[in-house]
A = this chain, B = another copy of it.
Amino acid sequence: MNEQTINRIRKFVADRDWAQYHSPANLAKSISIEANELLECFQWSDTDYDLQHVKEELADVLVYCRDMLDALNLDEDEIINMKMDMNEKKYSVEKARGSNKKYSEL
């Protein structure tokens, strides 16, 4: 996400005075709610989906994730790289290549 998009999201929240509702807990609920609107695009079929609807719902998930980064004053790249360090250890290339098993079963 570029700075212009981030600033648009921040202005959207500020203009509506919505930061008061953006507790981390409320945003966690919101991310799950939007993730399930995205999931609904695939409720009865994995392949017959409405791409425009998928784009809208995925965007909603990403906007609430951005709101949560802001509410907690987190840096997106920092937390992702921290987690990728963990993932790369949990799922070593040797063990995980071509497998969809959970790390606890590898």
Interface of A is mostly: helix
Q: Is the CB of A31 within 8 A of B38?
A: yes
| Bound-state Cα–Cα, A55 to B98, Å | 28
Contact pattern, A 52-90, Cβ under 8 Å of B = 1, otherwise 0: 001110111111010011001010110111111011100
Given contacts A12-B84, A58-B65, 13 further A-B contacts (CB under 8 A): A5-B76, A5-B77, A9-B80, A16-B97, A25-B45, A28-B35, A28-B38, A32-B36, A35-B36, A35-B61, A55-B72, A55-B79, A56-B86
A interface residues (Cβ-Cβ under 8 A, vs B)? 1-2, 4-5, 8-9, 12, 15-18, 20-21, 23-26, 28-33, 35-47, 49, 51, 54-56, 58-63, 65, 68-69, 72, 74, 76-77, 79-84, 86-88, 91, 93, 96-100
